[in-house]
Amino acid sequence: MISFIKKYFTFNKRERNGFILLASAIFFLIVTNIYFKSRSVPISISFQPLIVSETQKPVLTESLPKEKALSDNAIQKNEAPGLFTFNPNSISEEEAIQLGMSKKTAGTLIKYRSKGGKFKTKEDLKKLYGISDKLYVKLESYISINEETKKLKDSAMVFKEKTARTISIVDINSADSLQLVSLNGIGPALTHRILILRNMLGGFYSTEQLKEVYGMKDTLFNLFSSRIKADVSQIKKINVNTASIDEMKKHSYIKFVVAQSIVNYRNKHGKFLKAEDLMSVGSISEENLKKLKPYLEF
């Protein structure tokens, strides 16, 4: 047995040297592999839209399907985006996002303008990287390029000049766009938002309600607050004993759940006699009823 083991499991000097050399080579390769793996840095490749033209000025890039999907998703997530008249040559990134653009698309728009890019027609916005056909159709009627905005501003200047000598009080429930834009600090975009809110409410019972308009800060409101009034006789009221769910939910202060609760309670218990009776519905808070009360009739 001993002779058998010596014969098959012992090495001569030459074999030992070869084994040691082979083991050293394997050990070196293992250590080298571990060292370079620990030193390697992951490489990430980011493809950014390339803007090139013959004059080396930035131009609009074609929309890609992936970015279109992002814009469409942004619209779906925002069920009721605050659309308003805007000029793509001056709109801020925050306002672009509010219109339904993704954050990436809004950043691309700002970057394009910062490099000297200009939107000369409405259709130019359609070529912006990230603007899908669905989003463009939604925004098209709100796009106001320089020429259109200039006409409104020129009209506003004419109106301001005519009323400069006699400061008149503007009734925010009957004023048209020219009268509203004549107020200090009120531009075309804010005018459009005021008219939209007035239509959704059925009129204003207080001038303070203008602070609910997006972009209306207290400092801006104070610039013209002394020149406005709200004629409550112009308010369109809702008869909660006859109005349908669809009619009530159009009002800014009445959500669908509230409208449905009012109709269900009315069908079960009969007509409401006064505003306070609506507290029995269960889905209306005292604060909400206080805001809603001037718009109710029985």
| CA dist., res. 289 & res. 143, Å (int) | 37
E strand spans, the chain: 170-171, 228-229, 238-239, 296-297
Instruction: Taking each helix axis as running N to C, give the angle between helix 146-163 and helix 188-201, from 0 to 180 degrees, rounded to the nearest 10.
Output: 80
Domain shared by 254 and 224, yes or no: no
Count structural domains, the chain: 4
Query: How distant is the alpha carbon of residue 195 from its chain centre?
Result: 20
Which of residues 113, 146, 179 is at a domain's end? 146
Domain shared by 142 and 186, yes or no: no
Residues 6+ apart with CB under 8 A from 113: 89
Residue 173: inside a domain: yes
Domain shared by 8 and 26, yes or no: yes
Cα 206–Cα 212–Cα 214 angle in degrees, nearest 5: 145
CATH number of the domain enclosing 275: 1.10.150.280
pLDDT tens digits for range 225-265:
999 999 999 999 999 999 999 999 999 999 999 999 999 99
Which of residues 189, 210, 233 is at a domain's end? 233
Residue 136: inside a domain: yes
pLDDT band at 278; cut points 50, 70, 90: very high
Average pLDDT (80-100) is 83
CATH number of the domain enclosing 164: 1.10.150
Q: What is the pTM of this model?
A: 0.45
| CA dist., res. 19 & res. 239, Å (int) | 100
Q: What is the extent of the structural domain holding 109?
A: 65-146
Cα 230–Cα 83–Cα 95 angle in degrees, nearest 5: 105
